[in-house]
Amino acid sequence: MIRLVPAFAITALLSACATPSLLLLDGETDAATGQPARTGAVAVIDETTGSDRALIDQANSRSRLGSGTIRPRVVDPAQLSAEERALIDGLPAQVKSFTLYFLEDSTDLAPGSDEVLRALFAEIAGRPGADVQIIGHTDTLGAPDDNDRLSLERARQIREVLVARGLDAASTRAAGRGERDLLVATDDAVREGRNRRVEVLVR
């Protein structure tokens, strides 16, 4: 017997054939970088022994899940069957992440933020009833309590911008993480622009 353990992936189990198969989809483009997002992986585990039978981590690959060796093969997305395409089209939209950066010790956005904001506004507008989570961060310069306060102020500022653009206030939450979740690991009291940020997750 086979048990599937998914990790950071959207998968579709297709059981129309006598032998079930698994289709691992490609990740969406990261809105902040414009680069393909990291594809997740699926571990196939033997339920009797608990040992791993395979790790499927190649985007747009199909794997037969019979009793023999599992060999993923790449498939052309354009060649998917109508049934497979309908299944994929029916999946919930993936979470989109947007990152906005800030000037030092400030709630002022860094140069270049307008493009990210436009993409963020468009994503929310295209998702009626979107749920939006806003998380503020700082670098390690300054006292931890001050950074907690600053990170929350940054998150709240972005929330106010989104609500002013028509986002339902009840569908969004702002939180501050201070210097606890650094994007770039640094020592204490270090200026790092990539850590002075707000992450916006749109579901």
Higher per-residue pLDDT: 32 or 180:
180
Last residue of a domain, one of 46, 70, 89: 89
Average pLDDT of 83-87?
A: 78
pLDDT bin (cut points 50, 70, 90) of residue 191 is very high
Last residue of a domain, one of 89, 115, 146: 89
Sign of the CA dihedral running 84, 90, 94, 96: positive
* Residue 1 resides in a domain: no
pLDDT at 102 over 90: yes
Say if residue 81 is in the same domain as residue 129: no
Read off the pTM. 0.65
Per-residue pLDDT at 2: 42
Say if residue 110 is in the same domain as residue 166: yes
pLDDT in tens, 112-126: 999 999 999 999 999
> For residue 195, which of 97, 101, 107 has the smallest C-alpha distance?
101
* Residue 166 resides in a domain: yes
* Residue 11 resides in a domain: no
* Residue 193 resides in a domain: yes
Say if residue 77 is in the same domain as residue 38: yes
CA–CA gap between residue 62 and residue 74 (Å, rounded):
6
Say if residue 80 is in the same domain as residue 107: no
For residue 158, give the CATH number of its domain.
3.30.1330.60
> For residue 21, which of 94, 80, 78, 107 has the smallest C-alpha distance?
80
pLDDT in tens, 23-76: 666 655 554 455 555 556 666 666 677 766 777 777 777 777 777 777 777 777
> For residue 7, which of 45, 49, 63 has the smallest C-alpha distance?
45
pLDDT bin (cut points 50, 70, 90) of residue 5 is very low
pLDDT bin (cut points 50, 70, 90) of residue 92 is confident
* Residue 184 resides in a domain: yes
The domain of 78 spans 21-89
Count of domains in the chain? Answer: 2
Say if residue 85 is in the same domain as residue 103: no
Average pLDDT of 147-171?
A: 97
Per-residue pLDDT at 41: 66
Per-residue pLDDT at 24: 61
Say if residue 85 is in the same domain as residue 100: no
